[in-house]
Structure formats: C-alpha cells, structure tokens
Structure 1
Amino acid sequence: MSHSIYFNFTIRSDKESVYKAVSEPKHLVNWWPLKCSGTPQVGQEYNFNFTDDYDWYAKVESCKQDDYIHYKMVKSDDDWNPTTFGFKLKEKEDGTCLDFFHKDWPKRNDHFKHSSFCWAMLLKGLKDYLEKGAVIPFKDRN
C-alpha cells in the first residue's frame, strides 16, 4: 500500500504564470529549491538542489504547457525515490485552482508526515510568490 499527499487551492493569478512558477527553474528557486535546472518537456531531467547532501533529480513524466506537469523522482532520498508529484491547473473566475499531489510514498512514516507539512508551507510560499511577489529566503523555507 502506498500513501499520497494532496492539496488544492486557488491562486489569484493566471494559469500561464502559475505554470511557469511550477515548471521553470528561474521561478522554482523563488519558492522551493536553492538551485534548479530543467526543461518542462516529457523525459527531461530536473535537478532540485537544496544542499550538497540533498541534490535530487526527477524526470518530467507528463506535461502540457499551462495545464499540468508531473515529476517522477529518479535520484533522491529512499522515501522520495518511488514517488511522483505534480501540479494540475484549472482556470477559475478568481484565478487558478492548483491541484497538487505527491503519491506513491512507500510508508506513512515521520518523513512522509514532515514532507506533507513542508509541502503545505512551500505551497503557501508559491501562492505568496505569485500573488504578492514575496520570495522567502531559502534558509527560512522549512
């Protein structure tokens, strides 16, 4: 049995801007990793660097510009390696609904629980980045 994390919420921003924020390295570094590289195309590899000890890689499993992107972890922590996470966007009258998932966790252990909490905080940072232009310094993101 695997476990999953889900969130959905509205961001007062257009779909194109939200998609860029979850798929382009120059925007991802403003709310999630310290350093990042990658291209939002199926099969392309992303590097999510948090520190020298947490230098992780994922491949784009599927994507459609301004609609969704899903990342499959390929080199990371043992708990994260079997997982896939992604963002699906839906236009709404008052902005963009972001449906987030992080699935296929092998155990509902302390790391799963900590990651669930961290995703909630990070996604709040994404919302504030898009709505207010706020960038939380990397050292303050966890």
Structure 2
Amino acid sequence: MNQAVLVKLAWEMCSSNQEWSILYRHRFGSCNSPTQRYFKSSIGPGIKSNWHTAMSNSIWLVGEGKSINFWLDNWLGTILVDSINIPDEVHPSLLAKVADFTHHYKWTIPKLIHDLFPQIASNITIIFITNKKD
C-alpha cells in the first residue's frame, strides 16, 4: 500500500470518531503510540510502521479541547510530556484533556506549570479556545 495512504490512515485512526477508527484504536493502540502486541491484519503493520511519521508531522487544532490529551497530544507545537521531561512510566496515567484546563473559553493553567515553565504557560495562553470540535 502507498506510504502516503498509510500515514493518512494512521492520522485518521487517531483523530476520527468514525466507527472503524474507534475499533482500530481499541485494537491497535491509542493516539499516543501503537500497541506492541501483534494482531493479524492486512493494514495494521503498515499503519504501525508509519505511526511515528503521522504523529510527528501533525498538530491538533484546538477547538473546545475535549478530544485532545493535554499532556500526550501535540496541540502546542511540541508534546508537553517531552517539553517538561515527564518519565515514560507516568504517561499512561496522564488522562486530562485540554478542556480540563479551560473554563468559559479561558485558560486555567495550574500555578505549578506557570511557575516552573513560564514559557510553556505563555505559549498555552496564546492558543484561542472556541466552541468548535477539535
């Protein structure tokens, strides 16, 4: 299969709410990384081998923030866990969405992030929150 199609499928699998993408996310892995388990599939290995390409060249456009993981998705230009060096073993417990850090379309950045990472906090406040879907 064409590599461009596989990269597109990897992105669609991560970002779409269509039934096929939800099924494949449960079967092959979350948006953050594909599963390490093997499943017999004609397209699974192709998507898996192009996963990094799709994710490293993509950025979420923030709407209301309900679909975007605050820590693990690239919505700020870099992934926050990478920017602030959060250990890999903590990643599975980071479930907060961007919407969890907003109130009435305004940011509510935790004081700890603001104090320890002022540049990141500043970059966050530049992002405009809307009532549209991510």
Q: Indicate whether the TM-score tops 0.5.
A: no
Q: Larger Rg: 1 or 2?
A: 2
Q: Which has the higher helix share?
A: 2
Larger RCO, structure (CA 8 Å, separation 6 or more):
1
TM-score by length of 1: 0.29
TM-score by length of 2: 0.30
